[in-house]
């Protein structure tokens, strides 16, 4: 009986040891929000970590011209609105002014204000369009560039796949016994106890590993390359 227990013991110990691939915290496929021609792609950024660097530029020349003209019109409308408002307030208190004159002054003031607001909205739209046509990344790893100069993209077209490598995650598939009281258990990486905890546990058994439950541990970015296997124990 003792020999049977000794033979079974290593199996149970091994069942709680996981060899897990260190993965980037998040992988995102950037997609175009507008329809435009691709005028520049930084292919040198592929396979590198970038910070405050533009990787894709969509054609924004007409937007910039339109923005400049709209901003000039906005300044003129602002002056016109100021004058219309001043005139309306002056005539509105004059007892000698007719109701028709007061109404006309009010409608002119209201029309000027509407034009001013509409132009402000147009400027905001143009700025938003220009911003969306320049894809600038901060502290991201460019895994794959998915467009080339001369391509025409529409909303939803994939532009690039990028990874968040500031943090990392470990994905494990745990047995039911392992997730019991898991919030109180420590995480050991490579036989060393760490301050990490299991951050997320799926409450439904995994579709592929039907007797196990998916769990994730979020850790600091590794000094070694991603995808390296690491020994993980939760106890």
Domains of the chain, by residue range, sit at: 17-58+137-234, 61-132
Element at 68 (helix H, strand E): helix 61-92
User: What is the value of pTM for the model shown?
Assistant: 0.75
**pLDDT category of residue 56 using cuts at 50, 70 and 90:** very high
- What is the spatial distance between Cα 177 and Cα 192, in angstroms, rounded to a whole number? 22
Mode of pairing for the β-strands spanning 152-153 and 36-41: antiparallel
What integer best gives the mean pLDDT of the chain? 89
Q: What's the rounded mean pLDDT across residues 120-127?
A: 98
Burial status of residue 105 (CB atoms within 10 A of its CB: 0-12, 13-18, 19 or more): buried
The CA angle 72-35-120, to the nearest 5 degrees, is: 25
Predicted confidence at residue 107, as pLDDT, reads: 96
Instruction: Say whether 130 sits in a helix, a strand or coil.
Output: helix
Length of the chain: 235
């Amino acid at each position: 009986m003792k020999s049977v227990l000794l033979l079974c013991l290593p199996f149970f110990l091994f069942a709680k040891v996981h060899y897990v691939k260190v993965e980037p915290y998040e992988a995102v496929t950037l997609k175009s929000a507008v329809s435009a021609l691709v005028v520049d792609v930084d292919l040198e950024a592929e396979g590198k970590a970038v910070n405050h660097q533009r990787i894709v530029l969509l054609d924004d020349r007409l937007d910039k011209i339109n923005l400049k003209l709209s901003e000039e019109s906005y300044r003129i409308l602002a002056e016109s609105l100021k004058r219309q408002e001043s005139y309306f307030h002056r005539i509105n208190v004059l007892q000698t002014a007719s109701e028709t004159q007061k109404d006309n002054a009010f409608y002119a003031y209201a029309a000027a204000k509407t034009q001013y607001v509409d132009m402000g909205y147009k400027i905001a739209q143009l700025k938003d369009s220009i911003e969306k046509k320049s894809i600038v990344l901060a502290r991201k790893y460019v895994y794959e560039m998915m467009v080339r100069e001369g391509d025409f993209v529409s909303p939803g077209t994939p532009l690039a796949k990028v990874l968040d490598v500031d943090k990392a995650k470990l994905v494990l598939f745990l047995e039911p016994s392992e997730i019991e009281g898991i919030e109180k258990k420590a995480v050991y990486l490579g036989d060393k106890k760490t301050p990490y905890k299991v951050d997320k546990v799926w409450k439904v058994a995994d579709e592929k590993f039907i007797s196990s439950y998916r769990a994730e541990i979020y850790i600091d970015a590794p000094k070694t390359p991603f995808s390296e296997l690491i020994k993980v124990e939760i106890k």
